Amino acid sequence: MKAQMEILGLVVVIVLILLGLLLFVSFNLNTNEPKPLKNDFIKTQMAQNYINTLMDTTSSCNNMQISKLASECENIHLGFGSNVNCDDGLNPCSEIIKIANITLKDALGMYAYRFSFGIDKGYESEWGNVSSDAFRMDAMTVGSGKAVLPSKIPGQSLYFRLDINR
C-alpha cells in the first residue's frame, strides 16, 4: 500500500512537470504575436515616399526639379551632352547624387535606416549610387521604392530605386 502511494506521488510529480513543459512550449510557439507595424509600413511606404518626394524636390541647380535633372542626366549618358551647368560645377547626374546623399542621410540615416539608392537604365550599369555603410540586402526588413521616368529612347526607361532596411 505504501509503495503504491509512493508511485502515485511520483506520477503526480511527472504529470506536473509535463504540464509545465507543455505550457512553456505553447507560450514560446505562440504565433499570434502582432507583426512590427513600423517595419511593414517601411516595407510598403517609406521607400516609395522618399523617391516620390525626391522627384518633386527643386534642386539648387537652376531651380530645376530632380525629375528634370534626370532627363538631362540621360542626355549626357546618351552622348548628347547637356546645356545645364550647375552653380557648383557639377553635372546634372552628380547633382542628383549630391542631393540624394544629403536627403538620404538626414531623412533616413538619422533615424537608423540603412539604404542603397541608385539611378540606372533597366539592366544597364548604374549611373550613380549612394549607400549607407552597413546596408545589407539580406536584412529582415527590406523595403523598396522605385520611380520610373520616360526615356528619350522608346522602350527604355530611367529607374530611380531605393532599398532600405533597419
Partner 1 sequence: MKHAQIQMFETTMVLLIFFIIVGFGLIFYSNYMHQQVEKNRKHVEDLNAIDVALVAMNLPEIACTVSSVMENDIVIKPGCVDMRKVEAFSDYLANNPEELGSYYFDRLQYSKIMLNEIYPEKKAFVVYSYSGLKHNEHNSSFYVPVSMYWPDKDTYSFGVMEVTLMQ
Residue 38, interface with partner 1 (CB under 8 A)? Answer: yes
Residue 164, interface with partner 1 (CB under 8 A)? Answer: no
Q: From the list 1, 5, 29, 37, which residue makes contact with partner 1 (rule: CB under 8 A)? A: 37
Residue keyed to cell 528634370? 68
- C-beta of 108: minimal distance to partner 1 in Å? 8
Q: From the list 8, 21, 25, 60, which residue makes contact with partner 1 (rule: CB under 8 A)? A: 60
Q: From the list 69, 86, 99, 164, which residue makes contact with partner 1 (rule: CB under 8 A)? A: 99
Cβ closest to partner 1, residue 37 vs residue 137:
37
Q: From the list 3, 4, 27, 140, which residue makes contact with partner 1 (rule: CB under 8 A)? A: 27
Can you tell me the distance from the alpha carbon of 54 to that of 65, in angstroms, rounded to the nearest whole number?
9
SS (H, E, C) the chain: CHHHHHHHHHHHHHHHHHHHHHHHHHHHCCCCCCCCHHHHHHHHHHHHHHHHHHHHCECCCCCCEHHHHHHHHHHHHHCCCCCCCCCCCCCHHHHHHHHHHHHHHHHCHHHCCEEEEEEECCCCCCCEEEECCCCCCCCCCCEEEEEEEECCCCCCEEEEEEEEEC
- C-beta of 13: minimal distance to partner 1 in Å? 9
Residue 71, interface with partner 1 (CB under 8 A)? Answer: no
Q: From the list 10, 18, 25, 41, which residue makes contact with partner 1 (rule: CB under 8 A)? A: 41
Q: Could you list the residues that contact partner 1 (CB under 8 A)? A: 9, 16, 20, 23-24, 27, 33-34, 36-38, 41, 45-46, 49-50, 52-54, 56-60, 63, 65, 99, 102-103, 106-107, 111
